[in-house]
Amino acid sequence: MMKGYLTVFLSLSLSLLTGFVLLLTGNAIRNGAKVRCECAVDTGMNAVLSEYHKELFERYDLLYVDASYLGKEPSISRVEERLQYYIEENTSAIFKEENAPWGNLEPKKVVIPYFETAAAGMGGSVRNQAICYVEDTGISGEEQEVPENMEEIRGLNVRKSMEEWQAVMETLGGMELPRILNEEGQWEEVPLSNPADWVYGLAESDVLYLANVDLGSVNPANISQELYFSCRKIENAQGAEREWKSQDGLFLSYLFNKMGYFERSVEGSLLSDQLEYIAGGKTSDLENVRAMAEWLFQLRFEDNAACALADGDLRAQALAVAEELHVVCLNEAFKGPVTESILYACAFLETVGDIRTIYGGGRIPVRKTGHHMAVAHVLGGSFYNTSETSGWSYRQYLAAKILLEEEKTVNMRVMDIMEMDIRLHDGNQNFKMDWCIERYEAAVTVRGSYGGNYDLRRLYGYF
């Protein structure tokens, strides 16, 4: 009888123990499958990021996945397909092999509900990566000194000395000239004979001509601006609230390291003087180089005019010349405007000398403590070159012109240049910066063994 009790007890115990072991085994299989599922999704998302755009990285050291995948129309569905492929290769494909692990995993749904592109923050993403690159590589240059001196540049940029000179000349032109009897007994006007007239006549001249700039190396190409980022409809500009790095000095170093400008043009791009495009936004190198020269001339004229008008000795020279004019002797009302016009003419000639120095590879301070102006230069009817041992180079003035533009505008024009460059490579005809993905979120549903589903959500990116 005792043996019968033991047999029943052992049978019941073995049944319970077997069920418990099977339960543990099933849970282990399910948990193991879940871990493999998580690993497969993480591996797949990293694999998608490993397919960064090669040309963009080699040319600009930026990490993005191009959703057009070389030539096709960009679409997030293409990225979803790539992610699903990688997940399948690490799940269902493995379970078909010999000695595969227990259980089964089959991806049922892969969706990318959210992603951020280079357009996030209207170029904040690109600027952030560029600054990180400069921080990592230690690139530096004289352009990094520019941001801390921008207050002086902005102060000069808002002055209107050329308009003031024009007002003086219009005042002189509107004054009635005195009349005298000539030898024939007829009344005739006394000519003004203002020595500043010939200089004022040059005010509308081509600045590049005045500066003796050789334009032989300027690329004649003209772009269709509506094809590029800043002038077409922008997609995928949304982005999470992130702290973008935006240090102007570091970003300028990146631009001068990666892009061409008048003193160092690049080959293999639609525009060779790319930084002038960022500063000016015109459709050709010639227009952008000319716009930069005109701005530089205006800026230097503002400083030189301030120096001329504040210099007592120079004013005394101009006044002496004005007093010798016949018209002033007959009508003293002409003396003041003529004196002012001569001072502005001195500033103009000094400015011509400045830009010739700058375009010749020299330096000119933003604010001069001295100058080369003399009324004799106006009377002599000749140009001259100024020379300074310190000051800003063309590169620094160009950096300043870029910083005068809004940060958003600069970012967008930078991406214009990048699109121009990359589209020249085979298979990149549909390349768009607003379809270059920096980070993305994926929602993945995987069916496991015993009818269980695993829902995973992951956010991956380069930054």
Whole-angstrom Cα distance, residue 268 to residue 130?
Answer: 21
Task: Tell me what pLDDT residue 90 has.
Answer: 82
Q: What are the domain boundaries of the chain?
A: 2-122+432-461, 139-225+257-423
pTM: 0.88
State the angle between helix axes of 407-423 and 124-137 in degrees (0 to 180), rounded to the nearest 10.
80
Could you tell me the two tokens for 90?
């690490």
Closest of 41, 128, 188 to residue 411, by C-alpha: 128
Task: Tell me what pLDDT residue 385 has.
Answer: 79
* Cα of 132 vs its chain's centroid, Å: 15
Task: Tell me what pLDDT residue 9 has.
Answer: 63
Along the 463 residues of the chain, how does pLDDT read in single tens digits?
555 565 766 666 776 776 656 555 555 556 566 777 888 899 999 999 999 999 999 999 999 999 998 877 899 999 999 999 998 888 866 655 555 555 577 788 999 999 999 999 999 999 999 999 999 999 999 999 999 999 999 999 998 999 999 999 999 999 999 888 777 778 888 899 999 999 999 999 999 999 999 888 888 889 999 999 999 999 998 887 888 898 999 999 999 999 999 999 888 889 999 999 999 999 999 999 999 999 999 999 999 999 999 999 999 999 999 999 999 999 999 999 999 999 999 999 999 999 999 999 999 999 998 888 999 999 998 888 787 778 999 999 999 999 999 999 999 999 999 999 999 998 898 899 999 999 999 999 888 766 678 888 999 999 8
437, 79 Cβ separation under 8 angstroms: yes
C-beta neighbour count of 21 within 10 angstroms: 10
Pairing state between β 179-181 and 105-117: unpaired
C-beta neighbour count of 265 within 10 angstroms: 18
457, 441 Cβ separation under 8 angstroms: yes
Taking phi first (over 0 means left), then psi (-120 to 50 degrees means alpha), and beta for anything else, what does residue 92 get? alpha
Side-chain-side CA neighbours of 220 within 13 Å: the count stands at: 1
The CB-based long-range contact list for 17-23 (8 Å cut-off, 24+ gap) reads none
